[in-house]
Structure 1
């Protein structure tokens, strides 16, 4: 199911969303101040490309908490909200529930990427 889910995810929009994360991350990395934010975008792009069969482990300390707070009030809320809405729309049908669950996983990462590790 993991392989088939990832293929369907990529075909039906995952590739385009991952490329969007890569572009945003690249633009942020053009400035010294934006490099930490850009690296988090690359992390989100990695999970967005193939979310099935992977999980996110959250950790970190004060620095991660501060980074997540700043991220959430600037960009993170928009990204997380879009993933939550996509998850709700996917969960309307029985077939879309696995994709909706992946969207909710991505929403959590989009809300708080600092200190998160993708396994």
Structure 2
């Protein structure tokens, strides 16, 4: 593929730092971008994705779907010659496990109401 057909992308993280820029073919899918982001994720970050499914990519205010290609996701104003397109990365928070078991020795609370008339 000719060098001028490649799209240059960088990925902005939650703290303002960037991953990239990297060059991609317009036929690359969003899923491929997410895999690269997970592989390149800085080790010193407190929040980190466990896999590509933990990431959402946002470009021009739209959440990108995994099956879309880079060419389909480009915004019209992203057609600048030799411009780098910045996509924002959002990491899904870890889902807390629901507490299903109650402690046996836990005393049930009684709903009480009290009034004081002065």
Say which one has the larger Rg: 2
Higher helix share: 1
Fold match by TM threshold 0.5 = no
Q: TM-score if structure 2 supplies the norm length?
A: 0.25
